[in-house]
């Protein structure tokens, strides 16, 4: 649709008649689209926010591994089980500070998996070194694909508790809490991860100070070198009780810190996205904008076209998304009427059944 300036109205055949009606005081009734109902499953919200939220949609990794607790437990148990057996068998091929054979094997497996690598236990034979190489790669993959996804899911579950705590002295309904969670998801996850990280750092510092008998500064230094996977090795868990604690704490600390930095990136991206949305919604519309919004080139910009154009400007959808959706629409529009009805859906389903 070409732009012909002020002499040629953009919405030809519509602008003149509409303006005349408005000038005569007969403004046409306007249908306002305020809310679009989502699919039935997505339209349901939990009535009890403290109840089990296992029905909420969970994020998936790039390989489609759903971070359910059952799968996480299976993967983690298999990894630690195989690693413990292997490193226990070759325990005499590890040198360093040893306590209990099985505990040392689990501890070495966890330290290897999280890439902390204190150096208090190190392989000294070729077989031990090759096993360490194999388990460090598989361990990093397990953390990246499974454990971090499960940690993200756990943080999402804690968002409800955080939001409810922030509004403890206010009469806020369940719908308002869900809206708060949805509108500030990255911020809530950031604060939740921050609180968990502070708790883990304090717990590790106090434990090393009281149980491992390290100086307070050395205890904090060891905690920081551990959660960042730096692992200098001059300070580590050397007692039997300390290594039992470390098996669980190292997992939680390293993953929590990684998720914390991930949420910082998400929060920054969310702020940039909100700035773009604000700019799109506050800037003035021009004739060129209306031309770009007129998808079907009929000289008229409908509500759907206007919404799509605004969403594209905000970066929420792209032209490829629209193309794929329109292809699906055309497949469902069996009678080529330009609209979808129950009859179209039934005919499309019957055609799909015949083809299959």
160-173 residue pLDDT tens: 666 666 556 666 56
Which contacts (CB < 8 Å, 24+ apart) does range 260-267 have? 260/190, 260/193, 260/194, 260/197, 262/148, 262/152, 263/155, 263/186, 263/189, 263/190, 263/193, 264/190, 266/186, 266/189, 266/190, 267/186, 267/187, 267/190
β 94-96/121-123 pair status? antiparallel
Residue predicted with more confidence, 31 or 135:
135
Confidence band, pLDDT 50/70/90 cuts, at residue 14: very low
How much is the pLDDT for 3?
41
The sign one gets for the Cα dihedral 296, 301, 306, 310 is positive
Q: How many CB atoms lie within 10 A of CB 111?
A: 26
CATH of domain 69-276: 1.10.287.70
| Cβ count within 10 A of residue 227 | 24
Phi, psi of 299 (to 5 degrees): 80, 0
Residue with more model confidence, 292 or 226: 226
Residue 227: the pLDDT is 93
Give the residue carrying structure tokens 């990280």: 197
Indicate the length of the chain as a whole number: 356
Intervals of CATH 1.10.287.70 along the chain: 69-276
Mean pLDDT of 75-88: 92
> Would you say the pTM of this structure is higher than 0.85?
no
Q: Is the pLDDT of residue 133 over 50?
A: yes
Distance from chain centroid for Cα 106? 30
| pLDDT, tens only, 235-282 | 899 899 999 999 999 989 998 898 899 889 888 888 888 888 888 888
Beta pairing partners, 91 = none
Residue 196 has pLDDT above 60, yes or no: yes
Count CB neighbours of 158 within 10 A: 16
Mean pLDDT, the chain, whole residue set: 77
Question: Alpha carbon of 70 to those of 55, 63, 66, 77, 82: distances in Å?
Answer: 15, 17, 10, 10, 18
């Amino acid at each position: 649709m070409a732009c012909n300036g002020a002499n040629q109205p953009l919405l030809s055949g519509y602008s003149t008649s509409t303006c005349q009606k408005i000038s005569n005081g007969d403004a046409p009734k306007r249908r306002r689209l305020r809310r679009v109902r989502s699919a039935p499953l997505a339209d349901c919200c939990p009535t009890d926010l403290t109840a089990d939220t296992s029905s909420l949609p969970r994020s998936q990794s790039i390989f489609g591994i759903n971070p359910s607790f059952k799968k996480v437990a299976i993967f983690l148990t298999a990894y630690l089980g195989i690693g413990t057996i292997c490193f226990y068998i070759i325990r005499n091929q590890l040198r360093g500070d040893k306590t209990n054979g099985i505990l040392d094997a689990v501890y070495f497996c966890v330290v290897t998996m999280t890439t902390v690598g204190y150096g208090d236990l190190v392989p000294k034979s070729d077989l031990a070194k090759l096993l360490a190489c194999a388990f460090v790669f598989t361990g990093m993959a397990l953390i990246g694909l499974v454990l971090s996804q499960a940690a993200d899911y756990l943080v999402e579950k804690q968002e409800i508790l955080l939001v409810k705590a922030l509004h403890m002295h206010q009469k806020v309904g369940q719908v308002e809490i869900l809206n708060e969670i949805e509108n500030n998801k990255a911020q809530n996850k950031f604060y939740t991860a921050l609180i968990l990280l502070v708790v883990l750092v304090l717990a590790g510092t106090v434990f090393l100070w009281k149980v491992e008998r390290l100086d307070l500064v050395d205890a904090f230094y060891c905690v920081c070198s551990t959660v960042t996977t730096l692992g200098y090795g001059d300070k580590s868990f050397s007692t039997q009780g300390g290594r039992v604690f470390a098996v669980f704490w190292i997992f939680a600390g390293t993953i929590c810190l990684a998720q914390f930095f991930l949420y910082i990136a998400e929060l920054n991206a969310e702020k940039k996205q909100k700035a773009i949305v604000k700019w799109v919604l506050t800037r003035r519309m021009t004739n060129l904008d209306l031309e770009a919004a007129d998808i079907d080139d009929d000289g008229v910009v409908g509500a759907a076209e206007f919404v799509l154009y605004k969403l594209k400007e905000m970066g929420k959808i792209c032209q490829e998304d629209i193309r794929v959706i329109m292809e699906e629409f055309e497949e469902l529009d069996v009678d080529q009427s330009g609209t979808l009805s129950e009859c179209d859906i039934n005919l499309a389903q019957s055609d799909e059944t015949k083809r299959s």
